[in-house]
Each structure stands twice: as structure tokens, then as C-alpha cells.
Structure 1
Amino acid sequence: MNLRHLEYFTVVAQELHFRRSAERLGITQAPLSLAIQALETELGARLFHRTRRTVVLTEAGHALLDDARGILSRVEMAKEHVWQTVSGQVGRLRVGFTNASSLSPFFPRLIHAYRTQRPSVQIVLRELASSQQMEALDARELDIGLLRVPPEAPAPMRDLVLAPLLEEPLLLALHAGHRLAKKRTVRIADLRNEPFIAYPRQSGVALFSQMLSLCEKRGFTPNVVQEAQQASTLIGLTATGLGVALVPGALRAIAVPGVVLRELSDDDTTTTLYIAHRRGDANSRALQFAELAATLQKR
């Protein structure tokens, strides 16, 4: 059934006058009459009683009118929904984030600001290691990643747009009674003989790769005696005295009795949190989220 014919029909049913209906529709009277005739032929029923002076809906016309209005209304709603989706007003946004990044004050500020601007968008948060986020972005299982770039970046990174959001120092977490706790700053070289608590190598956490790279640049391989999946667990385990841990500055938010955090004096001991999305992605929600993050980062 032709939607234009239904539109013409509803206008004539409202005006009950072909000339006025044609003027309202911006067409001449002849194509309007032909459209109504075509609709009647398709339905196998007359929709109007027409005389020289009057136009009246038939019983079949009355039966069609409510349905026609409902169909046209749903079509307009569909157009509006598509527009809202394309413009980023509705839909779903899947955001990946690292465990440590969630502890940064910037993270809740960004999420809250986006939810305020786009209340009808369903935002889905997934905690994933950086390399896992890259793979999920490549597989279109994520729209946005908040991640760190490991030195040996995986292949999917080539298809990502990455913009730096936050640069923060790496800190040394250690037991309050440790000999290095007395220093204001510590060098990576001072940790040559220290036992380390670290993320598992196979976890895909970029901070593990960075720790390994920093130590190897100083001529030693860190002696990892204990592994932990979560940033908060790294801090907690240093309170046992098992070892030391390199953690991002955001973990200052975690206060654990018996644990102190010391700055590193080396000039290459910073870590950067990036926002990532697919190159050439037409997902307006992802692009708007990235633009918002860039705006907030400048404030």
C-alpha cells in the first residue's frame, strides 16, 4: 500500500473537498483524484461518496481512516527514531575501561556528564584490560575504550583513533616499614633486587608491559613473586610486605593502612590514559563521547 496514497486519503477525509485538499498537499486536483482511485482499486472498495457538491466518507472510508492515521503516525515515529539514533540522541554506547582508570576523578565526571547530556542513551560499562579493549573494539563489541597503550601494541590498534586523555605519574607502593619508604622519591634502578607484586603477564594489562620495559631499560628483569588482577589488590598486598608494586597515580584514592606511595624520580615513569574508537566509525554516540571527553580534559 502506497504511503503517499494513504496521506492523500487522510487529507481528503479531513477536508472532504478535493480542491482544498489538493491545495493543502501542494498538488493539482487530477493526480489527487487518480491517487484516491488507485487506492480504492487496490482495496476493492469505494472510500468516498462524491457528487458535484459534496464528498462524504463511505463505511469503508471510515474503516480505513483510523488505520491510515495510525500507519502514518508510526512512519513518522520511525523517521524520528532513526534521526535520534543517527544524531546520537538514543541507542546504546558500550564503553570499556581499565580497573585503575575507574579510580581517576576524571572517569566518573566523564560518565556523569555524558549521561546528563544524553539521558536516553543506554551506556554499558565493561571493565577490561587495555589489550582486551583493543580486541573488543576491533570486533565491534565495544564503541569506546579508555585504555593504556602497551609498548608492544597489538595489530587492532592500527584501526583505532587514540587521543590522550590523562597523563599521570607511576607511583611505587610499598610497606610503610620498607627501607625505601624513608625516601621522598625512588629510582627504578633502586628496585633491582626487590620482589614485585604485579598484574599477570597474560592479563593484557598495559601497566605490566610498561613495568617490564622500565626495568629492562635499567638492566634487570623484575622478580614478580605475587600476581594480582585488580589495582586495589596490588595496593592491599603491598601491606603484607610481600613486595613492591608500580601503580598509576589514580591509586592515591585508595588508602590502605601500612602502605605508602612514593614518587619515582625517573623522567620516563608516567602513564597515559587514552580514549579510543574505531577509525571511520559512523557511530555518532561514540564520536560525541570522545568529543565530550576532550572538552572535559581541557577544563
Structure 2
Amino acid sequence: MSFISMNLRHLEYFVVLAEELHFRRSAERLGITQAPLSLAIQALEADLGARLFHRTRREVALTEAGLALLEDARAILARVEHARESVWETVSGDVGRLRVGFTNASSLSPMFPRLIHAYRTRRPKVNISLIELSSARQLEAIGERELDVGLLRAPQAGVPSGLVLTPLYTEPLLLAVQSRHRLAKAKRICLADLRDEPFIAYPRSAGVAVHEQTLALCAKRGFEPNVLQEAQQASTLIGLTATGLGVALVPASLRAITVPGVVFRTLEDEDTCTTLYVAHRYGDANARVAQFVELAHSLQ
């Protein structure tokens, strides 16, 4: 007879009776009558082919076989309880892994550190991995299950099917310009005023949504930006602006990058703004994803 087919409830009854060595007290502790307790012990003995207790009218005592089973029975019940707790923690989102994608610019927003700190505080047993990727690459990684959730900006081409993007907050696109540039002290600046300006921008191939948006906004005004210099990182882009090589359109959160000789100016155009989204797979049953998304919205 294998332990796999053994009734776990019978094992539980056995352990309680082995500890109490009294049928009435054991039944009271288990919240049952003595009859089902006796039947359970008899069934367990039949399964194992061994007597587990010496019974007389005055006393109950463990047999040698009962003593041998007691330690294993306690260990089996403990493992079952541990498995039950592990499953519950996983289903409830209290343990496991959460892979979070983020863009370079989103990491500089005040929301980002608050969100990550709050999530880690509320779910300390969850192993959270932070992975820096462009918006386009994040969408691919979420679709391919390499990421669970992402903080990104929507691409101009639209969102792949099977993914959900929910807006978190919208911020203006600012003009980053050298402090000695003619536009640095202009009273009003519109995007159309940048028609003849050289631009510093992210590479088109990098999949940065702000670059795509910049192209679309300029095209709307009848011109294509003259990208004189490309930069992979936000800090490099701002640093190159200080050289006077060109101007750049950046999310307002990049004002956190302080570089001497660079000023940030607001544009008058109403559509020069960008939205940060939280993205995940549609219908994802991962409780950790739902909790992260809910927390992100609660912090706005």
C-alpha cells in the first residue's frame, strides 16, 4: 500500500490520537464524534496492514508501528500545509516573480520610484525585476512573455492585439535648448518655429515612442525635422543639447537631468504632450500584474 493513496484526513486523526492517547479528547479536539475517529483509525490500519494502537478499556498506547508512522505522518501533513500555503500565496500574488519594463525617461518621473517602492513594500516576497527597454521593445517582450508589465508610451503604429495599455499620466513635451540659443528667451514658442532648427533625437531604429511622436507632430505642421545628431540615452541627448548642436523635444520628466547651459521651454501647441501607459497582456491571470496595475493607478 503506497502513501499516495493514504487518506490525509486519516493521517490527521492518527496524529491527534497519538498525541492525546484518548479517543474522547481526540474527538473533541477534532470536532467529531468518537465513532468516525475509530472508523478512520481502523481504515488507516487496514491500509497499512499494521496495528497502530494498543486499545484497552482503560488506555490507548502506540504500537511500534504507530511510533514509526508518527514522525512521517507529521512530516507529510506539514508538507501538505506548506504546499497549500505556497499555492495560496502564488494565487494571491504574495510570492513569485514580476518582470517590469520601463523606459529611460519614465524612470526619471516622480511616479516611478514611488510605484516601485510601494509595490516592494506591499509585496516583499515578490522578486521584482526591472528591465530598461524602449517602448516598442517592451510591447514585443510583453507579447512574447519576456515581460509581465511595462511602463511605456504608445507607438504611433498602434498597439499589438492581445495587449492592454492604460494611461497613467500625461505630461508636456518640452523644448530642450542651449541657454544661449535664440529660442531660450523667446516669449512664445510653437513647434512650427523649429522648422529650420537642427534636431538631436533618438535613433529611429531604437523604438522610442517620443521620437515617433516628434516626427508625427512635425509632419502635421508640414515639415520633417532635420536630425543632425542621434543619442541613445536621455542624459546624452540633454548633454548634447548643451553643445548647441541642435534642439530636442523631451518629456517634461527629463527636466530632472540638470545640465549646465540647457534650458527647457514650454511649447504653445496643445497637442505637444505625451502619455505614459502601463501595459500588460489581455486577460493575464497573474495576480501580481493586476496588483501592480491597480497600485500604479492608485498613486496618481
> Is the partner of 1:290 in helix, strand or coil?
helix
- Paired amino acid for 1:219: G
Relative to the length of structure 1, the TM-score reads 0.92
After TM superposition, the structure 1 = structure 2 runs for residues 1-299 of structure 1, keeping only pairs within 5 Å, are 1=3, 2-155=7-160, 158-297=161-300
Give the CA deviation at 1:26.
4.1
Gaps of 5+ in 1: none
**Contact residue 110 and residue 293 of structure 1 kept, 8 A:** yes
Q: Cα RMSD over matched residues?
A: 1.7
Structure 2 length as normaliser, TM-score?
0.92
Distance 1:37 1:202 in 2: 73
Unaligned runs of at least 5 residues, structure 2:
none
Which amino acid in structure 2 is aligned with residue 256 of structure 1?
V
Equivalenced residues, count = 295
How high is the sequence identity, in percent, across the aligned residues?
73
More displaced stretch, 73-82 vs 15-24: 15-24
Give the C-alpha shift of residue 265 in structure 1: 1.1
Matching residue's letter, 1:166: Y
CA distance in 2, matches of 1:5, 1:219: 80
Query: What's the CA shift for 1:31?
Result: 4.1
Q: Please state whether the residue corresponding to 1:250 is helix, strand or coil.
A: helix
Counterpart Cα distance in 1 of 2:188 and 2:287: 45
Deviation at 1:231, TM superposition (A): 1.0
Deviations 1:160-193, CA, capped at 9 Å, x for gaps = 2322112111011122222222214421111112
Letter in 2 for 1:237: L
- Residue pair 1:91, 1:121 contacting (<8 A) in 2 also: yes
* Contact 1:99–1:129 (8 Å) recurs in 2: yes
Q: How many angstroms does 1:10 deviate by?
A: 0.5
Q: Is the 8 A contact 1:185 1:262 kept in 2?
A: no
Q: Which moved more, 1:97-106 or 1:65-74?
A: 65-74
> How far apart are 1:282 and its partner, in Å?
1.8
Find the aligned partners of 2:72 and 2:207 in 1 and give their Cα distance. 57
Alpha-carbon distance in structure 2 between the residues aligned to 1:60 and 1:225: 85
Which one-letter code corresponds to 1:265 in the other structure? E
**Shift of residue 25 of structure 1?**
3.1
> What is the CA-CA distance between 1:103 and the residue it aligns to?
0.5
Partner AA of 1:266 in structure 2: D
158-167 or 108-117, larger mean C-alpha shift: 158-167
